[in-house]
Structure 1
Amino acid sequence: MLDFLPSFPAFLLIFVRVTSFFLMMPLFSYRSIPAAHKIGLGFFLAWIMFLGMDVPMLEIDGTYFLLIIKEALVGLMVGFIAYLILSAIQIAGGFIDFQMGFAIANVIDPQTGAQSPLMGQYLYTIALFFLLTVNGHHLMLDGVFYSYDFIPLDQAWISFGDEDMAEYVIKALNTMFVIAFQMSIPVVGSLFLVDVALGIVARTVPQLNVFVVGLPLKIGVSFIVLIIVMSVLMYAVSLAFETMLQTMRGLMELMGGS
């Protein structure tokens, strides 16, 4: 115990970074997980990381409080970038809902407490199961552990105002919309063709009420196309996971000044 006391400030910094990751990172940040479980998981993970690292000896002074703020910001920022990339799946569902006619009905996401489109919630749930299947949560925990290779514990300053970091975050936001567009384009493109066909029918057969026929037709076509392209969507989801891990690594490199 006496040997541990000089290293306790370093352990506290590790604990702050890990729990900050859990506040924003997909899967670990959801409200359905009790706060006591998150804190307990963060504590034991920080303890395991502490035992496997060469930690510096730190003193609790004014600089130490800056280190605590820095650790919290690192965890929140990297976790937010991971969540930002995965939110592309919900945005893709929003694009599909808008064309299907489901945009008028949103559901409450029980994990985040925010409103979510119907198809977005459906695709996001499948994506989370896929993430667990390929052990993506293990890779995210690896990212937490290896973040100390890029951002050391005793590095007290991070240049959040750096032009490269701001450009990197903007590119990550752009990547999110590109992924969402790629995921939604099969269904949205098919529904556009259905709209064109309904427009032609409305001009040639004025007696037919296309508003009554169009909504169930578009819903049926959407589900048929979704079933056909589901494998392609899962490939796009795997690319989103790969992009998420690469973006986390790149952001940590910029934070570390490398």
Structure 2
Amino acid sequence: MNALVSTLGAGWILAVLLLSARIAALLLMTPLLYAAALPLLVRVLMALGFACVIALPFAGTPAPAPHDFGVLLQALLHELAIGATLGLGVLMAFAGFALAGRLVDVQVGFGIAQVFDPATRTRVPVLSSVFGLFAAVFFFLVNGHHALLRGIAYSVERFPVGQPAPLAAAAEPIAREAAALFALGFALAAPIVLGLLLVDFALGVISRNLPQMNMLVLGVPVKIVAGLLALWAWAATFGAPAGRLYAAIYRTWTAWLATGAR
């Protein structure tokens, strides 16, 4: 163990430890790893592996050695705060998909039926769970995980490990992403929601002209069929609004990381 420490250097090992805390906090705030049933040990080893690989180019400038345990704990908490702030940007983008799923569930009538969602470990309506899993799959299909790793490396470049970072400067970019979250989430589900509103309007006209018909019995299957057909037609145009949701992650990161030391 002493030979390993002397070979790699205590500073580099400390940099890996602090960087793994940043990456672990980021992964904990995102639903990417929760979408698959990965054991806790595997997630911890992934965070340590990412930290080791990313810390290799920075081996020449290791983290400053702390003077005591209190300083080390403070640096560790600071790295956790940086990772959680980065993860919050990712989490809000996925929340846009959750918002779109809830809107569709309410319109179709699936809001009552709930299933277990492995991405969030909670019980959610049927289509909300589908939207969440589809968002995770689409994130990997567009190579979002590559951009995620590049963003982590860029955060190390802008905010060196063990150095203070302007956490308060992240408030404005995150607030802007949160404000755009509702607009982008509604834009994602807008074709389906507007289509089902037209179905509601048509059912209202029928109910007005044919009061002897039971609209509760007739309306539920009609809205389910119309909603599923709208989902099928909407799938072809899913990419553009989903891409804008993912682009919001990197706009938020870039606006915050640009405040780092040059």
Instruction: Tell me by how many angstroms 1:194 deviates.
Output: 1.2
Alignment partners' CA distance in 2, 1:38 and 1:83: 18
Q: Which residue of 1 aligns with 2:189?
A: 184
After TM superposition, give the deviation of residue 128 of structure 1 in Å: 1.9
Change (3 A) 1:226 1:157: closer
Deviation at 1:204, TM superposition (A): 0.9
* SS of the residue 1:214 aligns to: helix
Q: Is the 8 A contact 2:35 2:136 kept in 1?
A: no
Q: How do 1:1-258 residues align onto structure 2 when only pairs under 5 Å count? A: 1=4, 2-7=6-11, 8-30=13-35, 32-53=37-58, 54-61=60-67, 62-160=70-168, 165-254=170-259, 256=260
Preserved contact between residue 191 and residue 218 of structure 1 (Cα < 8 Å) = yes
Report the Cα offset of residue 210 of structure 1.
1.1
Tell me the alpha carbon deviations over residues 197-227 of structure 1, each in whole angstroms, 9 at most, x when there is no partner: 1111111111111111111111111111111
Q: Once structures 1 and 2 are overlaid, which stretch shifts more, 134-143 or 122-131?
A: 122-131
Letter in 2 for 1:12: L
TM-score (norm 2): 0.89
Q: Which amino acid aligns with 1:217?
A: V
Q: 1:29 to 1:107 in 2, by over 3 A?
A: closer
Deviations, residues 52-109 of structure 1 (Å, cap 9, x unaligned): 1143352222433322111011111111220111121111010011111111112221
Conservation of the 8 A alpha-carbon contact between 1:9 and 1:60 = no
Q: Comparing 206-215 with 117-126, which one deviates more in the overlay?
A: 117-126
How far apart are 1:253 and its partner, in Å?
3.3
Aligned residue type for 2:221: P
Change (3 A) 1:234 1:39: same
CA contact (8 A) 2:18 2:76 kept: yes
Q: Which moved more, 1:3-12 or 1:127-136?
A: 3-12
1:150 and 1:252 in contact (8 A); partners too:
yes
Give the letter for the 1:5 counterpart.
G
Paired residues of 2:104 and 2:193 also in contact (CA < 8 A)? yes
CA distance in 1 between counterparts of 2:31 and 2:252 reads 14
Contact in 2 for aligned 1:21/1:76 (Cα 8 Å): yes
Alpha-carbon displacement from aligned partner over 1:126-170 (angstroms, at most 9, x marks no partner) = 22222222221121111111111221224235343x5xx323222
Measure the CA separation in 2 of the matches of 1:30 and 1:122.
11
- Paired residues, number: 254
- Report if the CA contact (8 A) 2:82-2:167 is conserved: no
Local SS of the residue matching 1:102? coil
- What do residues 6-31 of structure 1 show as CA deviations (whole Å, max 9, x unaligned)? 31222221121122222112313557
**Distance between the aligned counterparts of 1:175 and 1:150, measured in 2?**
26
Distance 1:32 1:3 in 2: 37
Which residue identity lines up with residue 59 of structure 1 in the other structure?
A
Q: Does the C-alpha gap of structure 1 residues 35 and 156 become closer, same or farther in structure 2, counting only changes over 3 Å?
A: same
Cα distance in structure 1, aligned partners of 2:200 and 2:180: 29
**What is the TM-score normalised by the length of structure 1?**
0.90
Structure-2 change in CA distance of 1:129 and 1:159 (3 Å):
closer
Cα distance 1:92–1:69, how it changes in 2: closer, same or farther (>3 A)?
Answer: same
The amino acid that maps onto 1:58 is P
8 Å Cα contact 2:89/2:252 also seen in 1? yes
Query: Runs of 5+ in structure 1 lacking a partner?
Result: none
**Structure 1 vs Structure 2 CA RMSD:** 2.0
Instruction: Look up the equivalent residue of 2:116 and give its one-letter code.
Output: I
- State the SS of the aligned residue for 1:104: coil
